[in-house]
Amino acid sequence: MVSTVPIKAGTSVAFRAATADLAARTTDPARIASFTSAGFSLLGGGRPIIENGAVIGAVAVGGGTPEQDDEVLGPHCVRSDLHGADTGRM
């Protein structure tokens, strides 16, 4: 079984957007086919990590429905105002 989690994370980095938001904005069948055949995901559950306006990574989850996966992450799970010991970075 292929995990969609890395694909969700990569998609959210490439487009600087949550995968659920991309899915909501992508409704044309030809565009969906193009998007997914290029290796991107339109399943909820991926969000970019943005700090000081720059994408520095992504988080993604899987295992539930796309709606459940996106709910687990929630819009506030990735904060850009974390510094130092709060993030484990020094």
Contact 22, 47 (CB under 8 A): no
**Which residues lie below 8 Å from residue 44, measured CB to CB, with a gap of 6+?**
18, 19, 20, 23, 66, 67, 69, 70
pLDDT score at 34 = 95
pTM of this prediction? 0.80
53: pLDDT confidence band, cut at 50, 70 and 90?
A: confident
- How is the chain split into domains, by residue range? 5-86
The CATH code of the domain at 5-86 is: 3.30.450.150
Predicted confidence (pLDDT) at residue 64 exceeds the cutoff of 60: yes
Phi, psi dihedrals of residue 16, rounded to the nearest 5°: 50, 40
